[in-house]
Amino acid sequence: MSPISDSDADRLGQKARKGGKLPHPPDRDAPLPEVREWLSNAAGLPHAVRVETVLRPGREPEDPIVLVLSNDLKLRCPHQSRLQQARTLQAFLASESDGIAQPPYLSPAEVGDFYTQLCRLGTAASHADPVSDLHERMAMYVALCELLRGSLAREHRYTTIEAMKARPAFNRAAAENQNPNAPVMLLDHLDGGRRYVRASEWVTWLRFAQGRTVDESGLVARMAELGSVRADPQAWNADRSRKVHLVLYSVPEDM
């Protein structure tokens, strides 16, 4: 079934593309509500759910992009290049929306139209707030993490730190998808469910998966603006023959 019905096309004043699944996109001077409507229908969303806005922290193919839906669901894509090919665009929309979006397999021209309208609705890098940018990137990173239950309470701190250190390394190769290792996120079940990520893995992901230059002292200040606390837990083993420590960032509560 075509994601845009004949009645939708008539209402938007769009003629169907010959041999395609979508009508032509809105004119260059069309109002943004029309752009949202076209994108929502092209994405195969139900009429009750629409694309509200698009967040683009940067313009490069390796930069992330986020589609915010009217039901508050955020479809986060780590690299915009995934939305520039029919196969990965279709898989991204269906997977990130948990099947709410059911787009057809589009032609290359239709994929180009879809991406152009995303860019049109999106926020350009020159207008992006660096703190908002970091917030979106961290939300994407958190979604990649594997959860480890533990606690930084004194009696559990040593075993928890050891468990985090024992995880397969999330290094440059992992960040560049050369191995399947995932970053770790600690769920502190004795501290109200507060979550933490390893600072070294977070910085590795920013540098090698996102291509960002990271000033670690500046990052501490930016993270504080997000509501993230930098922690440096340390602990001794039972006979005090070995001391371990990690540098962590707490995950903001709104993620």
SS3 sequence of 35-66: HHHHHHHHCCCCCCCCEEEEECCCCCCCCCEE
Same domain, residue pair 106 and 170: no
Same domain, residue pair 13 and 94: yes
pTM recorded for the entire structure: 0.58
The pLDDT of residue 236 is: 97
Assess if residue 1 is contained within a domain: no
Same domain, residue pair 39 and 101: yes
Q: What is the DSSP letter of 251?
A: P
Domain carrying residue 44: 6-128
Average pLDDT along the chain = 87
Long-range contacts formed by 130-134: CB under 8 A, 24+ apart: 130/222, 131/222, 131/225, 131/226, 132/55, 132/57, 133/57, 134/222, 134/223, 134/226
The pLDDT of residue 254 is: 86
pLDDT tens figures, 57-76: 778 888 888 898 988 898 99
Question: Among the three residues 87, 110, 128, which one is the final residue of a domain in this structure?
Answer: 128
The pLDDT of residue 211 is: 76
Same domain, residue pair 86 and 16: yes
Count of structural domains within the chain:
2
Report the distance separating Cα 111 and Cα 215, nearest Å: 37
Same domain, residue pair 115 and 180: no
The pLDDT of residue 239 is: 95
At 11, is the pLDDT very low, low, confident or very high (cuts 50, 70, 90)? Answer: very low
Same domain, residue pair 22 and 122: yes
Report the distance separating Cα 107 and Cα 18, nearest Å: 11
Same domain, residue pair 101 and 156: no
Question: Among the three residues 107, 128, 149, which one is the final residue of a domain in this structure?
Answer: 128
Question: Among the three residues 108, 128, 148, which one is the final residue of a domain in this structure?
Answer: 128
Same domain, residue pair 225 and 124: no
Q: How far is CA 144 from the centre of its chain?
A: 9
Same domain, residue pair 118 and 54: yes
At 224, is the pLDDT very low, low, confident or very high (cuts 50, 70, 90)? Answer: very high
Long-range contacts formed by 68-76: CB under 8 A, 24+ apart: 69/45, 69/97, 69/100, 71/100, 73/49, 73/97, 73/100, 74/139, 75/101, 76/136, 76/139, 76/140, 76/143
Residue 170: pLDDT above 80? yes
> By the 8 A CB rule, do 40 and 51 touch?
yes
Same domain, residue pair 159 and 121: no
Q: How far is CA 84 from the centre of its chain?
A: 17
pLDDT tens figures, 87-132: 999 999 999 999 999 999 999 999 999 999 999 988 644 455 778 8
